Structure 1
Amino acid sequence: MPFASRATAVDLSNLPNTLQTLSNTLFPTLKPIAVNIWNHPEVSTQETFAHDQVINHFTVPPAAGGWNVTAHAFGLPTAWMLTFEHRPAGYTGDLPVVGFMSEYDALPAIGHACGHNLILLNGLHAGSLTRQSLIDYNLPGRVIILGCPDEEQTAGKKRLLDAGAFDGSDVWALAHPTVTNANQPMQSRVDALLKIVGSTHAEAVHKAYQQLVIIDDLAGKLPATQTTATPVEDVGMFSLNVVASENQLGVVGDLNTINSTVAGIKATNAAFVAVNYTIGTDSNGVVLTFSGKGGHVSEAQQSPLSLSVETFRQLTASNPTFTYYLPSNTSIAELDLTVSIRTRYTIDLPTVQNAILPNINTIPSSVTFDLAYPAYEVGPYLADRLIEVMQGPTLNEVWVNSTIAPAATDVGFVQRAVIDPNTHMLLSESKATFHPNFGICPDVTGAGCAFNHEPAFRDLAGTDLAYTQTEKMARALAQIAVELIADPERMAQATAFIKK
């Protein structure tokens, strides 16, 4: 029987209610996996506990549910893959396929402060709902759930891509928790890795802070759209994708002068109102401890490090004899800085790098760049359909399309979007890739909630509301997946931009 004639005979009018009923049974069995990894965070490439939680759940009856389970998939120790096929009696055609992506890596020191425990759960639940719907509606189709390690640090999806992990489907979806509901693009990203060497510890710190001042002065002066260059000090529990919520700077100089300088900065610069500091002494001098929001390197905000840099700037200008040290380690004479370079469109990334390079290649002894993350672009069909589904009576969520790119993601490697250089409109993609961001803040505007990578977002990602919103998000993605599998015309619309 041709697939098209089967699809037209399937009545999906009650699908939202079916998914809600299925979710009442399935979600409580899957939620503990996400809760367990929230309580047991593992950083990129080390997600063995998360890997085993999934493998154990889907290989032990009755939870297994007929999934084909691959542990340590595609040569990556913490990747996994679940596949399920339903072929009705007498059906001999090709099986339409939809793939879901799950992430589960955490951040150093601040755990699941990006909410990847919820991304894991979303992929598992959306895939499980889709699987059961194929059975219940007797639809021919294939479902893939791919466990994707190491999103935060070194682009695990790029390694999965190179291994052929995404070849099995033309459609891939992942949903990411944040503070508001939106279909929105994601930035392109590359990190500049700066090595700074001094003949002494004090010289290395002084040179590092000179470089930080130069980077700070680039704000608002860089080319292209939504461009930022955010430095991260590679000290302590360092993560190249997190601006620390605490920063220390030691100063050999007069305590009263130092204190009045910092107090003056805070009094005259409203941007630092949310950054606090304490002042004390140790055996080497005066210790300043700055604390505040920290958070995502995509945000152009004043962080504890920013106040530390401004303090250095003003102290060196007025007190050139002062010297500086890192209270955590006063013996090192080689320091590293990471500058996270973000811009809206992949095609602009080389231009931005070239604009930044003259500002970072004189003080460091070396400058290297890591793997560039391509931007993710929003395809129109899936985004518009999600809004319709989310605003329907069973989900009743406020949802919008947005042009703001809040962060970067390695999902861009899966999509491999090509845009028009003049209009920036999507021309083609290698896979129909969907990455909506869903809100887990009690206030739907996001007001009053920490953003991703801030320590408080970890707590938000473990709340009952966060799990409730994840359940809704999974239902919406499952509904769209079933529609694509059932209806060739919808599938054609979703995959219209794929390069042939």
Structure 2
Amino acid sequence: MPPLLSPIFLALATATLAQTQATQPRDISTLPTLLQSISATVFPPLKAIAVSIWSNPELGLSEHHAHDLIVDHFTTQLADPSLWTVTPHAFGLPTAFKLESSFRPPAVPPTAAIPTIGFLAEYDALVGIGHACGHNHIALNGLAAASMTRAALTSLGIAARVVVIGTPDEENMAGKHTLLQAGAFDGIDVWFEAHPTSANAVQPMNARVNAIASFASASHTQTVRTAYEALVAVRDLTTSGLPGTSSSAVPVEEVGMFECNVVQGQISLGINGSSVAAVQATVSGILDSTYPGVTFTVAQDTIEGGVNLTAFGPVPLVLTIETFRALSAQPGVSFFLPGNTTHTELDIIWDIRSRYTQDLNTVLNAVTAIVDDKTTSITTDTIYPALEVTPFLPGVLIDLLKTAPYGSQTDWAVSTFAPASTDASWLQGAVVDPTTKALVGADRVVFHPNFNICQAGEPCAFNHEPPFRDVAGTDFSYTRTEVIARSLAHIAVELLNDPAMMANATAILGS
């Protein structure tokens, strides 16, 4: 006859069995319906926050209205504010925040490790054109997806932790780099963020750095001439071919709306020593199909004298550069910036990008070397490394979005084209093979799908163009964000529920 088990052993065995059962994957077959029900409650007030953020645009590190709205919602407006631990002014940044919520079924001890997923929220705007990058939707997506995930975990009895980091100043100073140094992302392997744009794709983001070149001389006209000579030199360099893959060096003239990440839609160049008719003929001879959407006016400058050329459209500065090239060798011709003729200093910013981080310094050096003898100084800002497409999760999202609860979307794909940059790349810490350029390792999994918020049949600009601000404020755009937030919450719950799936998603880490 076997010996009887002691009461202590029986208690331990029962507790162990209960904990094992509590941490086993749950049946989540009802998850799509559950998330739809949860979204109906949590999404509307979060959408109202996003609408207010869009209506009150704030520049990076000054997003006090957005910060305070979000913190207030999670500390005082929820039916049960104790569900979230809220840290305002987090990590030494006045407009950063942290939200954290954990769920443990009774059988899971307080000291037991539970899986965690993080969500990123951005909410800074652009100088002069507000939320023309749609960061009101990035904030909404992060907050909504995290809230849906937390509620679903509780309903399904899944032990897990959800974290949201509010990340200021993505546009100018790579706020996530500052947060990374402060330890904001430590201990969490998977981070979700979704970015609104004009097409659906899971795609890489390029590496970026800005080179700020200062030009100065004894006279305004000499400063303008020297700066435009540098613009011509870099344009010739880019035409002949920059090093690296899909590299570019886009100039921005620091006058008017000069912000380096705002598409300048209007540039003026003044010309002395020529006539309205001659300038009109010169510009007309330059303007062709390589300047899509660009228009211009030529008129007598009634304040400064001379002729005022004003170019409009997506690449107006390029048209003035080519006009300078055509006229600068003519005797007696000089140039000025209308409305700025007392200035003897001018900054030109080259927004330098390349597909892979490892090529960025080579591109930067090529640009700075060609203008170095013309400048009084050249400085650079924070580098944005390239963001690489993480394996596994793109396929999960694309398959999920094909299903009816998520809109039966069939226009999603994984793309190799990098349309822009993101400071979320600092979290990823991608390791790329120097020869094949394949992603071979990472510090964290950063899943960053780009989703279309433009209604079919309606005109749609691209991010950072002024008309995109209007797109980012439409009801349709918020509807699109709800679907994407719900889909990311679905994937987050699956990962937190299934250790094998989490292992697949994080296999790239530590490689």
User: 1:54 is matched with which residue?
Assistant: 70
- Mapped to 1, the partners of 2:170 and 2:22 lie a distance apart of 39
Q: What TM-score, normalized by structure 1, do the two folds share? A: 0.94
Quote how far apart the aligned CAs of 1:320 are. Answer: 3.4
- Mapped to 2, the partners of 1:196 and 1:455 lie a distance apart of 28
Alpha carbons 1:182, 1:400 under 8 Å: kept: yes
- Mapped to 1, the partners of 2:365 and 2:308 lie a distance apart of 37
User: 2:152 is matched with which residue?
Assistant: 133
2:43 alignment partner AA: F
1:365-384 correspondence to structure 2 within 5 Å: 365-384=376-395
- Mapped to 2, the partners of 1:345 and 1:26 lie a distance apart of 39
2:104 alignment partner AA: R
- Mapped to 1, the partners of 2:364 and 2:257 lie a distance apart of 27
Q: Which segment drifts farther, 218-227 or 144-153? A: 218-227
Quote how far apart the aligned CAs of 1:399 are. Answer: 1.1
Residue 341 of structure 2: which of 322, 325, 330 is its match?
330
SS in 1 for 2:165: strand
Change (3 A) 1:82 1:394: same
Q: How many residues align?
A: 486
Residue 261 of structure 1: which of 278, 282, 304 is its match?
282
User: 2:317 is matched with which residue?
Assistant: 305
Q: Which segment drifts farther, 141-150 or 368-377? A: 368-377
Residue 265 of structure 2: which of 245, 251, 264 is its match?
245
Quote how far apart the aligned CAs of 1:32 are. Answer: 0.6
Residue 224 of structure 1: which of 216, 222, 244 is its match?
244
Gapped regions of structure 1 (runs ≥ 5): 294-302
Quote how far apart the aligned CAs of 1:236 are. Answer: 2.0
Quote how far apart the aligned CAs of 1:5 are. Answer: 4.9
User: 1:475 is matched with which residue?
Assistant: 486
SS in 2 for 1:335: strand
| CA deviations over 1:455-493 (Å, ceiling 9, x no partner) | 010011111111011001101110111111111111111
Alpha carbons 2:67, 2:97 under 8 Å: kept: yes
Residue 145 of structure 1: which of 157, 164, 176 is its match?
164
| CA deviations over 1:28-60 (Å, ceiling 9, x no partner) | 111010100101101111111111110111111
- Mapped to 2, the partners of 1:159 and 1:224 lie a distance apart of 27
| CA deviations over 1:176-202 (Å, ceiling 9, x no partner) | 001111000000111111011111011
The alignment-based identity, stated in percent, is 48
User: 1:90 is matched with which residue?
Assistant: 107
Residue 74 of structure 1: which of 91, 95, 102 is its match?
91
Quote how far apart the aligned CAs of 1:218 are. Answer: 2.2
Quote how far apart the aligned CAs of 1:289 are. Answer: 1.6
Alpha carbons 1:4, 1:488 under 8 Å: kept: no
Residue 464 of structure 1: which of 468, 475, 484 is its match?
475
- Mapped to 1, the partners of 2:444 and 2:167 lie a distance apart of 16
User: 2:30 is matched with which residue?
Assistant: 14
- Mapped to 1, the partners of 2:271 and 2:56 lie a distance apart of 38
Quote how far apart the aligned CAs of 1:333 are. Answer: 0.5
2:59 alignment partner AA: V
Q: Which segment drifts farther, 145-154 or 88-97? A: 88-97
Alpha carbons 2:22, 2:107 under 8 Å: kept: no
| CA deviations over 1:286-340 (Å, ceiling 9, x no partner) | 21221113xxxxxxxxx011111111111113x2321111112111101111111
- Mapped to 2, the partners of 1:160 and 1:148 lie a distance apart of 8
Alpha carbons 1:4, 1:487 under 8 Å: kept: no
Change (3 A) 1:4 1:43: farther
Alpha carbons 2:137, 2:478 under 8 Å: kept: yes
User: 1:292 is matched with which residue?
Assistant: 313
SS in 2 for 1:242: coil
- Mapped to 2, the partners of 1:287 and 1:417 lie a distance apart of 48
Quote how far apart the aligned CAs of 1:273 are. Answer: 4.1
Quote how far apart the aligned CAs of 1:441 are. Answer: 1.6
- Mapped to 1, the partners of 2:331 and 2:394 lie a distance apart of 56
Alpha carbons 1:47, 1:104 under 8 Å: kept: yes
- Mapped to 2, the partners of 1:373 and 1:61 lie a distance apart of 36
- Mapped to 1, the partners of 2:227 and 2:414 lie a distance apart of 41
Q: Stretches of 4+ moved more than 6 A in 1? A: none
1:411 alignment partner AA: A
Alpha carbons 2:22, 2:105 under 8 Å: kept: no
Quote how far apart the aligned CAs of 1:243 are. Answer: 2.8
- Mapped to 1, the partners of 2:434 and 2:291 lie a distance apart of 38
Alpha carbons 1:127, 1:144 under 8 Å: kept: yes
1:265 alignment partner AA: I
- Mapped to 1, the partners of 2:252 and 2:40 lie a distance apart of 44
- Mapped to 2, the partners of 1:74 and 1:59 lie a distance apart of 18
User: 2:443 is matched with which residue?
Assistant: 430
Quote how far apart the aligned CAs of 1:109 are. Answer: 0.5
1:388-407 correspondence to structure 2 within 5 Å: 388-395=399-406, 396-397=408-409, 398-407=411-420
Quote how far apart the aligned CAs of 1:94 are. Answer: 0.8
1:257 alignment partner AA: A
User: 1:275 is matched with which residue?
Assistant: 294
- Mapped to 2, the partners of 1:362 and 1:91 lie a distance apart of 67
Quote how far apart the aligned CAs of 1:366 are. Answer: 1.5
SS in 2 for 1:310: helix
Quote how far apart the aligned CAs of 1:256 are. Answer: 1.3
| CA deviations over 1:66-100 (Å, ceiling 9, x no partner) | 11111100000110111101011020221100000
Matched, 1:321 2:342: no
SS in 2 for 1:183: coil
User: 2:179 is matched with which residue?
Assistant: 160
1:107 alignment partner AA: L
User: 1:296 is matched with which residue?
Assistant: none
User: 2:428 is matched with which residue?
Assistant: 415
SS in 1 for 2:246: coil
SS in 2 for 1:217: helix
SS in 2 for 1:124: helix
1:26 alignment partner AA: V
| CA deviations over 1:317-366 (Å, ceiling 9, x no partner) | 3x232111111211110111111110001111122223323212121111
User: 2:119 is matched with which residue?
Assistant: 100
Alpha carbons 2:141, 2:484 under 8 Å: kept: yes
Q: Which segment drifts farther, 374-383 or 155-164? A: 374-383
Change (3 A) 1:414 1:9: closer
Gapped regions of structure 2 (runs ≥ 5): 1-15
- Mapped to 2, the partners of 1:320 and 1:21 lie a distance apart of 74
